[in-house]
Amino acid sequence: MRILVVGGGGREHALVWKLAQSPRVTKIYCAPGNPGIAALAECVNISTDNVKALCGFAQEHNIDLTVVGPEKPLTDGIVDYFAARGLKVFGPSREAAQLEGSKSFAKERMQKYGVPTAEFAVFDSAAAARAYIEAKGTGIVVKADGLAAGKGVVVAETAAEALQAIDEIMLKKVHGDAGCQVVLEERLIGEEASLLAFTDGFTVVPMVAAQDHKRVGDGDTGPNTGGMGAYAPAPVMTPELLSEVQQTILQPMIDGLRNEGILYQGCLYAGLMMTATGPKVIEFNARFGDPETQVVLPLLDGDLLPVLEACIDGALAETEVRWQNGATVCVVLAAGGYPGEYRKGDAIAGLAAAEAKGAMVFHAGTALNGESVVTSGGRVLGVTAVAEDIAAAVAKVYPAVEQIKFAGMQYRKDIAHRALNRN
């Protein structure tokens, strides 16, 4: 089979890496790809939001399956566009992808279907949002309604912080049109987990639960990022809690959408908080998570391809999905200044040395400058290790991280700290 993967980050590198292991895959293209992906696939210089050009490429090169990584092409309707032209594509439709593309759409559906989540209110007026915050006081999370590359959420410690977030998002438009509307939520207290699931619109098959590290600094300090690392499996997600999430969150959401005429097929990502009263949804994403994919896919036992096909063909109930024992830890190496202004174009050394330590190095924001691999994004690399348990994976991943050098490189030294500190 001939595969096209859309995207050029660490998530797509992990998808290409896993798909390349399938005995049925004869050729992989990746658009636009990156220097790490280029070792496994032919990179094609087409932007992820140029749906028409991507479709033309798929037709011209007889692509049997397209796998979409990022959220924007999904919310732009790439799946609808490809499917209308008879092309097989993995991911939710434009309508289904609103679950990520619009926070208010997602919250209203959760309320309607009885899916446990934080109390919320939706505002398209900054003055009304400010009045709500002043009445509520503390314990408020401010979310830009639209896509903001993982940066449109402010967990406000004080009312003043929440008010400032309203000014930034709604008045200064730091996230553009994504901030025309905001969702204000009560702050949930507990431990977070990321649960990705395969679905064909009827059956839902959870993957191994992971835990992401959103804050830029050790000890979960500093601003939120797109993710500074992850590990799996997350021990906070016990078998009992996994069953509860399946029955109260994942299945009701998929069934509720289908009953409204929205068949959600692809990967459903639930960002969860394990509260004192049970699991609640922080957010849904309409695609594989990043960096969660880098820790989840290495634990998939067997071929990813038939699972993706089953999601498209409505055959997931008849498809076996198995997971290996063991654990994975991914440490993200970020550019200096990230998640704010950061440099690009710095040479990266030590990639081969890191892999020689037994780690996988997934490229997230890299480019080529002549023969040299250089930085080109905020999150540059995801160094991932697989071992028999989380402690062993941590002990394996950090010596590999230390082999890599680039100017201004920053990373967290405490990935998986919650798992290691459990009794």
Q: Using alpha carbons, select from 60, 112, 118 the residue that is nearest to residue 85.
A: 60
**Where along the chain do the CATH 3.90.600.10 domains lie?**
327-420
**Where along the chain do the CATH 3.30.470.20 domains lie?**
191-323
Helix axes 126-136, 159-166, angle to 10 degrees: 170
- In sequence order, what are the beta bridge partners of 186? 140
Q: Is the pLDDT of residue 387 over 80?
A: yes
- The pLDDT tens digits for 213-243 are 999 999 999 988 889 999 999 999 999 999 9
Output the pLDDT for position 423. Answer: 55
Output the pLDDT for position 171. Answer: 87
Output the pLDDT for position 141. Answer: 86
Domain boundaries 2-94, CATH class: alpha beta
Output the pLDDT for position 167. Answer: 87
Provide the pLDDT confidence category of residue 148 given band limits of 50, 70 and 90: confident
Q: Is the pLDDT of residue 149 over 80?
A: no
**Where along the chain do the CATH 3.40.50.20 domains lie?**
2-94
- The pLDDT tens digits for 300-346 are 999 999 999 999 999 999 999 999 999 999 999 999 999 999 999 99
Residue matched to tokens 């835990």: 211
Output the pLDDT for position 352. Answer: 97
Phi-psi region of 14 (alpha: psi -120 to 50; beta: other; left: phi over 0): alpha
How many percent of the chain have pLDDT more than 90? Answer: 80
Output the pLDDT for position 419. Answer: 93
Output the pLDDT for position 125. Answer: 85
Q: What integer is the mean pLDDT of 33-44?
A: 98
Provide the pLDDT confidence category of residue 158 given band limits of 50, 70 and 90: confident
Output the pLDDT for position 154. Answer: 83
CA distance 335 to 345: 10
Phi-psi region of 178 (alpha: psi -120 to 50; beta: other; left: phi over 0): alpha
Q: Answer for the pair 406, 207: CB distance below 8 angstroms, yes or no.
A: no
Output the pLDDT for position 155. Answer: 84
Output the pLDDT for position 406. Answer: 98
Q: Using alpha carbons, select from 410, 193, 150, 402 the residue that is nearest to residue 296.
A: 193
- The pLDDT tens digits for 240-259 are 999 999 999 999 999 999 99
Rg, Å, the chain Cα set: 20
The burial class, CB within 10 Å (0-12 / 13-18 / 19+), for 38 is middle
Q: Using alpha carbons, select from 210, 178, 158 the residue that is nearest to residue 418.
A: 210
More confident residue, 214 or 29: 29
Could you tell me which CATH number the domain at 191-323 has? Answer: 3.30.470.20
Output the pLDDT for position 168. Answer: 87
- The pLDDT tens digits for 119-134 are 888 888 888 888 888 8
Residue 285 backbone dihedrals phi, psi, to 5 degrees: -120, 155
Pairing of strands 2-7, 27-32: parallel
Q: What integer is the mean pLDDT of 209-216?
A: 95
Output the pLDDT for position 407. Answer: 97
Count of CB atoms situated within 10 Å of the CB of 147: 22
Structure tokens at 6: 């859309």
Average pLDDT over the chain, rounded to whole? 94
Q: Answer for the pair 261, 186: CB distance below 8 angstroms, yes or no.
A: no
Q: Using alpha carbons, select from 279, 110, 304, 311 the residue that is nearest to residue 209.
A: 279
Selected from 3.30.300.130, 3.90.600.10, 3.40.50.300, 3.40.50.620, the CATH number assigned to the domain covering 327-420 reads: 3.90.600.10
Q: What integer is the mean pLDDT of 159-183?
A: 87
Q: Answer for the pair 316, 310: CB distance below 8 angstroms, yes or no.
A: yes
Output the pLDDT for position 150. Answer: 66
**Where along the chain do the CATH 3.30.1490.20 domains lie?**
125-180
Q: Is the pLDDT of residue 175 over 90?
A: no
Domain boundaries 125-180, CATH class: alpha beta
